[in-house]
Structures are given as structure tokens and as C-alpha cells.
Amino acid sequence: MELKTRLREIKEQPANASLLNNLDGLLEEMLQNIGSTDSELRDKLIYSTFVQLIIRGNHLNIQQLHRMIQVCLDDQHLFYKIGEKNTDSVFTRSFSSLVIDLILEKDMELNFLEKHIAKEAYKKTILYLQKEEDTRGFVEGKGWAHSIAHGADLLTSTIKHYSFELANIKECLDTIANCISKDTVFIDDEDERIIFAIEALIQKGLEEDQLNTWIDSFHLFLEDHYDNNGFSLDYFKYKSNIMNFLKSLYFRLSYLNNEQSSLQVIEENLQKMHKRVYTN
């Protein structure tokens, strides 16, 4: 039976246990096609079936979940042709990150992952976000790539995970700053998705002083770029991403009704960035 047909039947009849016969074979075929350029197969069928199998039901055993996360973390999935831009390989990387995210979320409920695998997931998430260069959101004719948004979702899950260590907070902040400073202008709510990782860090113990110092670093980064290159095209790309991110962060922190000094720091930094461009 064709994979799409089988997955459609599972989606339409989630309570039909007979459709999950030879589950190992089905999982392997889904992983093999995780980066399909057919958006229906990749997003609406394969990913949604992973959600159904991993999160909504208890269809998978521990061995299957271990196997899946290790496959998705390997060089043929999360790091498949890493560094390429504007090629179809991004779909494999991006959707592999979503499956890892699902398994980490399930592990928060059941605590089945071996400790070294959880630590590997964190380390590879950081490395992936640092190395990902294909930052496209929606790809015409092929659907969502959204590598940075999906990677940010995964980072958030690794931070929320019980294995996360406070010593990694700075590394996470540095990685987030690297994402915001990618060579692109984000237009598909990537900033909103990244902020969930900041929220998770705050919940884990990120101190306000450290957050404020990190916020200040964006203005310093722009000033350094201006001193070396003036008002280059890259300067305005970085400025657009940084200002959009800080504006979104400002309102998210205000909704949370905490980190009040950080709101003032964001205001001051936005004012400095505005004056640099619009005040003679």
C-alpha cells in the first residue's frame, strides 16, 4: 500500500489498531520520507502521524522511540547536507528537528530516554542551529521549511527537559543571538518562536542581570558592524531582525509581568538603534 494512502487511513481512523500492523516498517518508511518535497506527505501526513503515534497515543515502545531519536539526530537527518542554502535538503533537517522535539516532549511525561541521549539531543540542537544556513520559511510549491522556527521549538524542548543544566544558559543565549543574526530578514514569525526559548530559560533560572547584558549585546553588535562597514545591506538586515525580536520580547515579557528592568533595557536599546539611523 502506498505510504500516503496508508497514512491517510490512519489519520481518518486513529482508533483502528489494524492499520498499525508492522509499525516498525511504517516508522522506517516515514523516516525515509521525512524530507519529502510533497508538503501533504511531509507535513500533513508524516508529521501529523508522528504526533499521533508519539504524543496522543501510547503506540510506540521505548526501543522504537530510542531508535527514532537516534536516527533523527544523525548526519542523514538533522545534519543532512548541513550548510546548503535554497535546496530541498532543508526539509529533512527541519522536520527531523520536529520529531526530536516530540520525543523529548514525551520523555518529559514518561522519563524513558537514557541520560546520554538527552544530553546528545541538547548538544546537537545547539550545533544544528549554529550551522543551519537555509533560513527560508515558506517555500512556494513545497510548503513550510521553517528551519529556524522548528529549530527554536526543539531548543525550547531541550531547555524545558529535566536533563538541562544551568551552566548551559549562556550557550543557549549565544545560539539564539546567532540565529537572530543570520544572513536573512525573517518574515514568518521566527522571532515569536525563538522567544519561547527565552521564556524557558527564565523559567529555568536565567537571571535578569544576565538577560539584560545579553539584550545590550545586540546594540553593541550593530555598533561594531556600523563602525566597520557603515550602513551596509547587512547592517539593515541585522537591524531589522534585532529590532523585531526585541519588540516581540518586550511585549512577551510584559505579558508575563516580570523581568521589569529588562523592559527598560529593551526600550533604551531600541531608542539607540533608532537614533543611529534617523538622527543626524
CA 95 to chain centre: 10
Angle between helix axes 169-180 and 147-160 (nearest 10 degrees) is 170
Closest C-alpha to 119, from 104, 141, 102: 104
Residues 6+ apart with CB under 8 A from 55: 102, 105, 106
Residues pairing with 144 in the sheet: 138
Give the global pTM. 0.95
pLDDT in tens, the chain (280 residues): 599 999 999 988 877 777 888 899 999 999 999 999 999 999 999 999 999 999 987 789 999 999 999 999 999 999 999 999 999 999 999 999 999 999 999 999 999 999 999 999 999 999 999 999 999 999 999 999 999 999 999 999 999 999 999 999 999 999 999 999 998 999 999 999 999 999 999 999 999 999 999 999 999 999 999 999 999 999 999 999 999 999 999 999 998 876 689 999 999 999 999 999 998 5
| SS3 assignment for 241-276 | HHHHHHHHHHHHHHHHCCCHHHHHHHHHHHHHHHHH
How buried is residue 23: exposed, middle or buried, by Cβ count under 10 Å (0-12/13-18/19+)? Answer: middle
User: Burial letters for 172-201: b for 16+ Cβ neighbours within 10 Å, e otherwise?
Assistant: bbebbbebbbbebebebebbbbbbbbbbbb
Over the stretch 26-83, which tens digit does the pLDDT of each residue have?
Answer: 999 999 999 999 999 999 999 999 999 999 877 899 999 999 999 999 999 999 999 9
Tell me how long the chain is: 280
Q: Rounded distance, CA 163 to CA 136, Å?
A: 31
The reported pLDDT for the residue numbered 137 is: 97
Q: Rounded distance, CA 182 to CA 110, Å?
A: 36
Q: Rounded distance, CA 263 to CA 21, Å?
A: 54
The reported pLDDT for the residue numbered 25 is: 94
Q: Rounded distance, CA 221 to CA 210, Å?
A: 17
Chain position carrying cell 505510504: 3
φ and ψ of 61, to 5 deg: -90, 175
Please state, as a whole number, how many other Cβ atoms lie within 10 Å of the Cβ of residue 39. Answer: 16
CB 49 within 8 A of CB 30: yes
